[in-house]
Amino acid sequence: MIQLSILKISEYGPWTLTLGSDREHELQMLQSSLYKELQKLFSEKNCLVFLNRADEFFVVSNGLSLDDHIQIQKTLEKSFEIRLTISIGYSKSPFEANLKAYEGKKNEIILNEEYRIFGFINDESNSHVSIMHLDVDDLSSKRKTDSPYEISSTIFELYSKMSKFFLTKNSLTFFMGGDNFMVVASDDAKSSVQNFIDMIKNDDEISLNCGIGNSHTSREAVKLATKSLDTIREIRDSGKEKPDVYEL
């Protein structure tokens, strides 16, 4: 089971207007300091936060109780003027967990009113997370022919294809910066990642490597996914034929 906690800034739109028109720099500073704090608080509890459109965050929160979420809300209230709403859901696939969280909020299934927490907490011990860490093989060589902006455009097109492809496998894709992507993956996504890599190789002449990690917590699964990716690089750099996918 995957548990997802979706954090969203409450009443953000109206609040941004109170800053006047000269506000963009303030909002960017707020959003990045909020992200930093959230990543700190959740990683201390063995979770990882995925940045989603800067005013919304997806946390793979396996193992986190309602009380853990309340503690985090209390800490955030001390540091920020804005407030966050948390919607929690769990299911067999990441996309379905996202739907449960969405339903929990929409139908006002209140877990804690004071700290604005909605949805459903998984209290069974069947926690399982699979993460795929995908990265472009030898992006550095592209820098010899393509300018920084052209490379960004290529990466975002790739992100778009990846997001669409893995959504059909009930999985969620996040851009991590540079040429790195992480997919919170279903079994179906794991078994079809080689097809995706082959498709991108044929259509776009981009080679991808994919490290996969499985564990009870998202931080551990991410660690193993990155370790798998680094293993592919080690095999490649030792002169042997590398696999495109490696799983731990």
Interface residues with ligand GTP (CB under 6 A)? 135-140, 176-180, 226, 233
Tokens of 242: 């590398």
Identify what 140 binds: Mg ion, ligand GTP, none; CB under 5 to 8 Å per kind: ligand GTP
Cβ proximity to Mg ion: between 23 and 143 the closer is: 143
Q: Does 229 bind Mg ion (CB under 5 A)?
A: no
Among 1, 27, 66, 139, binds Mg ion (CB under 5 A): 139
Structure tokens at 248: 């731990």
By CB under 5 A, residue 134 contacts Mg ion = no
Min. distance of Cβ 171 from ligand GTP in angstroms?
18
The secondary structure of 153-202 as a DSSP string is HHHHHHHHHHHHHHHTTT-EEEEEETTEEEEE--HHHHHHHHHHHHHHHH
54 vs 139, beta carbon nearer Mg ion: 139
Q: Which of 207, 227, 240, 36 is nearest to 138 (CA)?
A: 207
The closest of 236, 188, 167 to 208, measured between CA atoms, is: 236
- Closest contact distance (angstroms) between CB of 248 and ligand GTP is 15
Report the alpha-carbon distance of residue 195 to residue 185 in Å, rounded: 15
Which residue in 41, 34, 44 sits closest to 217, CA to CA?
Answer: 44
Cβ-closest residue to Mg ion? Answer: 135
Instruction: CB nearer to ligand GTP: give 77 or 138.
Output: 138
Comparing CB distances to Mg ion, the nearer of 97 and 134 is 134
Helix, strand, or coil (residue 139): helix
Report the alpha-carbon distance of residue 246 to residue 232 in Å, rounded. 7
Binding status of residue 47 toward Mg ion by CB under 5 A? no
Position 30 contacts Mg ion (CB under 5 A): no
Q: Among residues 30, 73, 80, which one has the least CA distance to residue 55? A: 30
Number of residues that bind Mg ion (CB under 5 A): 4
The least CB distance from residue 110 to ligand GTP, in Å, is 35
Task: State the angle between helix axes of 187-204 and 148-167 in degrees (0 to 180), rounded to the nearest 10.
Answer: 140
- In whole angstroms, the minimum distance from the beta carbon of 226 to Mg ion comes to 12
Name the segment binding Mg ion (CB under 5 A); options: 66-74, 86-94, 174-182, 215-223. Answer: 174-182
Pick one of 86, 111, 136, 221: the residue that binds Mg ion (CB under 5 A): 136
Residues that bind Mg ion (CB under 5 A): 135-136, 139, 179
